[in-house]
Structure 1
C-alpha cells in the first residue's frame, strides 16, 4: 500500500477562474507537490470536452471529470460512465417544458439548443466552445447523444422544484445557491465515488487524501477525503460542511493550505 499523499483539486473557483486564469502561486504549489513525490489529481464537474488547454497545462497526474463519471490516471481510463439514452429522452423534454435551458455534457462534446442565443450567453463554456472548438458542440439529440451529466439553467424555480422529487430518483443533484443552475449526475455517482475508484487502483489509504473545492458538487468529495478543504470564496453550504478551510483562490489559498499541511 502506497504511503504517497494524493491531492484532489476542483477547477472552477478553486484553481481557475473563467476569463482570469490560475493564480501563479497555485501553479507553483501544484508543481511543488509533484516534485515532492505526491500525486496531483484534477477533480472537476467539467467533462473532458470542456477542459481547455490552460487547465490541462496545470501540473497533474490524473483527471476525475464529469463529477466522477470519468476517471483517468496516466493513459488508463478506469471509468467512463454515460447516462442511458432512454433516461435522457424522458428527462430533457420535461426539463425544457418547465423552463430549463438544458446542456448535455459528455466526454466528446456538449449538446444544447444551438438556436437559442440567449441560452448560450448564460453558459460561458458553451459560448467558448462555439467560438474556438465548434467540433465539441452539437445540437441536442437525447436519443443518440453521449452524455455523462446534465446541467440546466432554471428560469422558473417553482416549476423546477416540483420536478425535484422525481429527478432525485434518477440523478444526483448539485444545486447552486447564488445562481439558477443545477448539475445532474447519474444516481450514486459523485466526485467522491470517482476518488474511491482511483484510491483502489493506486492502493492509497484514505488517511493520505486531501481535496480542495468551492461548489455544491464538491460536498461529497470534501466529506470523503481525510483533509477536505473549502476555499475562502466557497459557497456558504460548502463552508459550513467542510472540515477545513483556507483563504480564497486569489488570496493564495491553495499555496497557504499546502504549506500548512506540510506537503510543500
Structure 2
C-alpha cells in the first residue's frame, strides 16, 4: 500500500478537461508527477464511472467520486454506492413527465432514457458525450445511482426540491440539466467517505473545481482551488484562484502549492 502524502481531487468539465472534453498532455504529465510524488490524484465528478474510466484511460487515475457522490471508488475498489429505491425513482419519473422534462437513468456502467428531446441533446453536445440509449425498462433491470433531468425552466427547480424535500437533492449543473441524487449524497459526502475509507483524514487535501456543484467539494478538503473560468460565486469560496482550464490552470495551481516537486524517495508500506 502506498504511503500517500496528500490527496488531490479534480472536477472534470471546465477543470481537468479541455474544450474537447479531453485531458491534455500537460495535465496527464501533471497527474503522473503527482503519483511519483506519493500524492493520490482523484476525480470528483457528476459523470458516470464508465465515462470517467474512458476519460482517464491514458492517465494513472484509478480513484474517483462519481455521479455526484453516489458511486465512489479507490484504486479500482468500490468503497460506497447508493442506489435509488424504486418507489422514489418511479415517482421522480412521473413528475418529470408531468413537467414535460426528459430524464435519464445512470447505472455504474451506462445510462439510458425513455425518449430524447432537444434539451437533452444540447446537454450531451455541450459535454461532448454520447446521448443516452433508448430503453423503457432500463430502470427496472439495473441499479440506478443517479438521475438526470433535462430542463431549461429553472423556475421549476424549486418545485422538484419541494416535492422531494425528504428524499432527493437536485444540482443544476448546466443551463439544460439537473443532476439528481439521494438526500445526503454529494461530492462532499463522497470525498469524506473516501478519506475515511483510506484513514487519511490527517493528510493535506486539495480540490480543483469551477462549478456551483463543486462548492460542497471545497468544504470537504483543506484547500480549495477555483479555476480562472469559474463563476465569481465559486471563486469567492476558494482559497486560491488559478488560471483557466485552457491556460494550464491545473499545473499552475499544483505548482503554486508545490505539489509537483519530485520527492527524493518513493516509500511503500
TM-score normalised per structure 1? 0.87
SS in structure 1 of the partner of residue 147 of structure 2 = strand
Query: 1:17-70: per-residue Cα shift (whole Å, max 9, x none)?
Result: 463522332222111111111111111111113336243322314122111111
Moved over 3 A (4+): 125-130, 140-145, 155-161
- Displacement, 1:128? 4.5
Q: Is the 8 A contact 1:98 1:160 kept in 2?
A: no
The whole-number CA distance in structure 2 between the counterparts of 1:169 and 1:17 is 37
1:60 equivalent in structure 2? 61
Q: How many residues align?
A: 257
Query: C-alpha separation between the residues in 2 aligned to 1:240 and 1:165?
Result: 28
CA distance 1:238–1:179, shift in 2 (3 Å): same
SS in 2 for 1:210: strand
Matches within 5 A, 1:161-176: 161-176=158-173
1:71 alignment counterpart: 72
Query: What's the counterpart of residue 50 of structure 2?
Result: 49
Alignment of 1:184-263 (within 5 A): 184-205=180-201, 207-263=203-259
Q: CA deviation at 1:160?
A: 4.1
Gaps of 5+ in 1: 131-135
Structure 2 segments unaligned to the other structure (5+ residues): 261-269
Superposed CA RMSD:
2.5
- Match of 2:92, SS? helix
Do structure 1's residue 153 and structure 2's residue 150 form an aligned pair? yes
Secondary structure of the 2:228 match is: coil
Question: Conserved in 1, the CA contact under 8 Å of 2:10 and 2:44?
Answer: yes
TM-score (norm 2): 0.85
Structure showing the higher helix proportion among its residues: 1
Q: How far does residue 118 in structure 1 lie from its aligned partner after superposition?
A: 2.8
